[in-house]
Structure 1
């Protein structure tokens, strides 16, 4: 007669390998893969537990995304006078940089979704929504709260987005669409600021004529397949070139790269954005 103590059976080699691969699509897997390779095994149990919760997402109210509705004016609580396009872009950046509630990875995904909706790419925005497990009960991500005060018990807001844990994310209309009362930029003389670099830069421009730096191997995990793709790129080269090479190996689909929960800026290098060799980046893939 003795007490029986059960212990979990250690996973076999094949089981451990399978557990280390995230189960797309969900937002928790985004956080899990933005870590060095040696942390994957420790996150396996978290991914497994999350996959059991993910099934509840399909039971929540959800409608396909629709184009953003018109925005009549700049928000009076933030704008003393109508914004210029440059001021609007600055305010949008500030909005996403100052979010303190919810999941940072979800906010990064929502930033991409808003950019796509403004560009008219509704299907691409829907693909990102599905990839990170977000739902939208009305089909419009713009949130409309009661005029004053917090949401009272029994009173529902209109619009908005929810993550897999049921947390709501409020997005003002001016973040999704351009207000109708925007004013033109002031005239700039010959000594004004130079334009932004064209997205159509050639590989030779990206290399910076020999300033590509040390060539490193970058491992990216694709959200649509859950597989890793490895490409080589110069540590000083812009992320835009890394995206191009990943697209060449993954069927040419659109993608955005995330590292440690932040969107990688395509006009900056990996080194400038703190990437460390051996770390995995997340590739949000969409149609």
Structure 2
């Protein structure tokens, strides 16, 4: 009897219907099922998230590619932009300059340089002197370019008024009045150390006069050996000179030794300074055994 009463299908069964799985179904309810519309929305949202993720990945890859391509196109840090030297022109609007004032200001400027390398300032001064002596001609620019190139001085814009860089990356700023005279400069014939345009320097000897003197005057001064480095090919040439011989005469000897053509001439530079043609090397600080720079430039056609 007891067995009969424990059966779930009897009249006293607490689970009518006799379903053996009723209690299990009550304890473990069926999994929640979303409506079809919600399932479609969820699938669309998942697909959109994947698409956005793909777009972000593609965008990041594009940025990385552009960054790598840009880094390849960048100029190495040890290289500087160097453009050919070009003439500079300007008009003074806040001051009326005279040639006397310009000469004094330029002397004071180079005497008071305390930053950068002293030899670079001397080279810049020599290049500017070449342009000051030939402000309206191509010879001055060509000679100045040769001087700057020999010292590995670079011009980022091609204009000295925008400053220059040395081989170590040091910057050397140059004011406008240092580079050249303003177009509205006041002529002053009494300027000490400078002569008006078109007036010859009385201390400078004419080349033809030097040649005539060489024919008639026998120099008995002991000869010394001079070594000159030619800017055109970086070769050294040795010649015999007299300590009292003019720089212009020495330049002719170097040109003959190097077999330069007649359309080229030489200016001698020593310690970053262009030597005066009418004075001897010794009187301008040259010491026996020191190398001088022979700067070659073409005559204006």
TM bin (shorter chain): 0.5 to 0.7
Among 149, 161, 165, the alignment partner of 2:164 is 161
Match of 2:182 in 1: 179
TM-score, normalised by the number of residues in structure 1: 0.59
* Cα contact 2:89–2:183 (8 A) shared by 1: no
For residues 257 and 228 of structure 2, the distance between their equivalents in structure 1, rounded to whole angstroms, comes to 11
Match of 2:197 in 1: none
User: CA 1:210–1:94 in structure 2 vs 1: closer, same or farther (change >3 Å)?
Assistant: farther
What is the correspondence of 1:106-145 to structure 2 with a 5 Å cutoff? 106-118=120-132, 119=134, 120-121=137-138, 122-142=141-161
**1:258 to 2:277 alignment:** no
**1:273 to 2:284 alignment:** yes
Which is helix-richer, 1 or 2? 2
**1:218 to 2:226 alignment:** yes
User: CA 1:261–1:245 in structure 2 vs 1: closer, same or farther (change >3 Å)?
Assistant: same
User: CA 1:212–1:109 in structure 2 vs 1: closer, same or farther (change >3 Å)?
Assistant: farther
Match of 2:295 in 1: 284
Higher relative contact order (CA 8 A, sep 6+): 1
Deviation at 1:195, TM superposition (A): 4.9
Match of 1:102 in 2: 116
Among 47, 60, 67, the alignment partner of 2:80 is 60
Deviation at 1:68, TM superposition (A): 0.6
For residues 265 and 274 of structure 1, the distance between their equivalents in structure 2, rounded to whole angstroms, comes to 12
For residues 56 and 233 of structure 1, the distance between their equivalents in structure 2, rounded to whole angstroms, comes to 46
User: CA 1:130–1:277 in structure 2 vs 1: closer, same or farther (change >3 Å)?
Assistant: closer
For residues 111 and 105 of structure 2, the distance between their equivalents in structure 1, rounded to whole angstroms, comes to 10
Match of 2:53 in 1: none
Between stretches 99-108 and 225-234, larger displacement belongs to 99-108
What is the correspondence of 1:48-87 to structure 2 with a 5 Å cutoff? 59-72=79-92, 82-83=97-98, 85-87=99-101
CA-to-aligned-CA distance 1:112-145 (integer Å, 9 cap, x gap): 3223444233344333332221211112111xxx
- C-alpha RMSD of matched pairs (Å): 3.4
2:84 aligned counterpart, secondary structure = coil
Deviation at 1:166, TM superposition (A): 0.4
Name the count of aligned residue pairs. 206
TM-score, normalised by the number of residues in structure 2: 0.57
1:106 aligned counterpart, secondary structure = helix
Deviation at 1:261, TM superposition (A): 4.5
What is the correspondence of 1:213-252 to structure 2 with a 5 Å cutoff? 213-250=221-258, 251-252=260-261
CA-to-aligned-CA distance 1:218-254 (integer Å, 9 cap, x gap): 1112233222111222211221211122122231544
For residues 57 and 218 of structure 1, the distance between their equivalents in structure 2, rounded to whole angstroms, comes to 39
CA-to-aligned-CA distance 1:169-227 (integer Å, 9 cap, x gap): 11111122112343233579xxxxx9533452422577695677432221112233222
Stretches of structure 2 that go unaligned for 5 or more consecutive residues are 1-74, 192-199
Deviation at 1:161, TM superposition (A): 0.4
Deviation at 1:255, TM superposition (A): 3.6
2:294 aligned counterpart, secondary structure = strand
